Structure formats: structure tokens, C-alpha cells
Amino acid sequence: MRALYLLPLTVACLADTVTMKDGTFLKGRVERIADGVLEMRVPALGDANLQRLKLAQVESFLTDDAVLMSSGGVVSRGPASAAGGRVASGGGAETSPMDSSLELWRDPSLRPAETAGKRQWTAQADMDVSGRSGVVTGSGFSAGFSAKGVTKANTVTAGVRLVRAESGNQTSADDLHATASYETNPTDVVFWYVRSDTGYDNARSIDFFSVNAAGWGFRLLTDAKGKLDARIGLAHRYEKYAISTQGSLAAPSADIGLQFTRELGWAAWDSSLSYVPSFQVAGDFYVRHETSLNILRNAGPLSLRVGVSNDYRSKPLSTQVKTDTSYFLRTTYVWK
């Protein structure tokens, strides 16, 4: 069954179209073509995610406005179109083969052949209101910032999130997570990664925690609608508690995770799951999970997400429950 993406466009810069050989039709903004890959920003799939499409799987494309284009020789400027394995530019009479030699770009200073090693950054800031149940039932907010830098070979991400919620005179959430990760971009299926999650969780009486992990990742599914990645590696988990009689935790662990993104048409679905079991104490593990739907998307940088997150610990402190759950409504602003 053919997948179809139709997006009402309000500005001309979002009128580029790409048709894949499997019939998938995309509307958005073609950012560049280099090394046999077409990069396109599709608002219907989330502005933060740049779609990377193999040129060999592209049937045709058309840009609404002028772009720069070359096949290793003369650079032409004008609207570009491709069909039947050939590419034409409004700035020249000659056509070029639609193959790995083709370059297309927009900013004159960012020709792919000259900027191949430069990292392309996307940043995101968000704030949400949330309801919570678990350690203490209550309501509150969280705020976060993250940045992603992408090259042909790897992806670097870093972020920080602060959560605060109260119920009467009790704190239901007061934690901070600072995260960082590095992963190689998959060649076919396999990639490798390192990641770190550090901060504090006062509601659980944890003055300081850190999880540092490294291992292999596997791209189990990828198409124009989304992807499914799995990871498995080794980790070290450390926790220092505010309770003086409670000794610190330091345990070698496994690191197992899933990350899933999918375009549903009416919403974009993002889900992540992290499972860290201890090698030191049988049955001691924690699970972090978050699922969200981007339900309000447009051509601009703002979007609205609704979602749920869970923090489960199999062996919490004696005064605490195992599961802490948050339901949130999150406003997100993305820029490059």
C-alpha cells in the first residue's frame, strides 16, 4: 500500500516535493544532496528530524525555489527537478545524472564537497506541565534543552532536563538529568554508541547518580516513516543517597534499550525504553520509559507534545514505591 504525505503549505519554501520509487510522496524542503543521499526536512515528520533518503530510491524531485547544483563541474543556480534518472536546473541547459556525483545545496558557503567534515547542529528547548503519581502524587512542570550535531559519520547529542512538582507540603519530583551520547551512523544495520546520564533525584533521596554505558546498536527498521533502533552494551551505575545510613550503590550493569519513531499521519510517535540490570545484585534493575505524540505541528519551529514517562526501580529505598509516572503536555521550540 502506498504511503502518502500531504501537507498544506503556507509558504513557498515548503513546496519542494520528492517521490520515492515505492510511491511514497513527501512535501517539505530539500536541504541538500551529497554522497548519494537526499536530505529533506518534512514538517509532517517533525522539523527536528532531517530525513535522509538514498538517492537510488528516489524516483523524482522538484524544488519550488532556487538551489545550487553541480555534478562536479559547473555550478548552476535555479529551481531543480529530477525524473528518469536525470536532473535539470533552471540555471542551465544541461542535465546531469542523478547519481552519487550530484550535489545540491542552498547556502553558497555550505557546498557539500567543501563542508563534508562539518557538524550540522539542531537545538531544542521545551517546557511542560505534568501530573505525577508514584513517589508522591502531585503536579508540576519540567523544562529542558538539547542539541544534536550530525555528520556523515556520527551523531552527538547532549541535553539537560529539570523537573519540579509538589503536592501540598511534599515534593513529588525534584530531579535533574544531564545526558550526553555519541553514536556512529549505521552502515546498513550496525553502529556503536557511548552514553551518560548524570544528575540528582531529591524525591528519591538520591544526592547524585550516574549511568555510563557503551555498546553496539542495531537499526532494526528504517523507512520514510521512521525507524526502530536497539542497543545492548555494558554500563556502570552509581548512586549516592541523602540518607546517612544508606550506603552508596556502585554496580556494573548491562545497558539495553529501544528507540522508536513513526509518522502516523495525524501525529508523530516517539518512544524510548532503557533497561539497566545490575550484575552485582540479582533482581536489581531500573527501567526508564517515555512515549509521546506530536499532535500539533506546522511549518514553524513550535510544536505540542502529549506523553507519559515512567521511572521503575526494582529495589527502591524502603520508604518509596517502585514506579514513578508522569503525564505531560509539552511545548517545544526547535531551531538550527
Structural domains of the chain sorted by starting position, each given as residue range(s) with its CATH number in brackets: 12-114 (no CATH), 120-335 (2.40.128.130)
Contacts of 306 (CB under 8 A, 6+ apart): 292, 293, 295, 328, 329, 330
**Range 189-207 average pLDDT:** 92
Mean pLDDT in the chain? 85
pLDDT for 212-259, tens place per residue?
999 999 989 877 678 899 999 999 999 999 988 888 989 999 999 999
User: Is residue 140 within 8 Å of 128, Cβ to Cβ?
Assistant: no
The contacts of residue 61 (CB under 8 Å, 6+ apart) are 16, 17, 18, 19, 30, 38, 80, 81, 82
Predicted confidence band of residue 7 (pLDDT cuts 50, 70, 90)? very low
Round to whole Å and give the CA distance between 258 and 105: 33
Provide CB contacts within 8 A for 109, sequence distance 6+.
none
Neighbours of 74 (CB within 10 A): 12
- What CA–CA distance (Å, rounded) separates 47 from 26? 13
Q: How far apart are CA 228 and CA 242, in angstroms?
A: 38
Distance CA 302, CA 304 (A): 7
Higher pLDDT pick, 274 / 324: 274
Give CA angle at 119 (184, 106), nearest 5°: 125
Express as a percent the part of the chain with pLDDT over 90: 46
Please compute the mean of the pLDDT values over residues 325-332 and round it to a whole number.
91
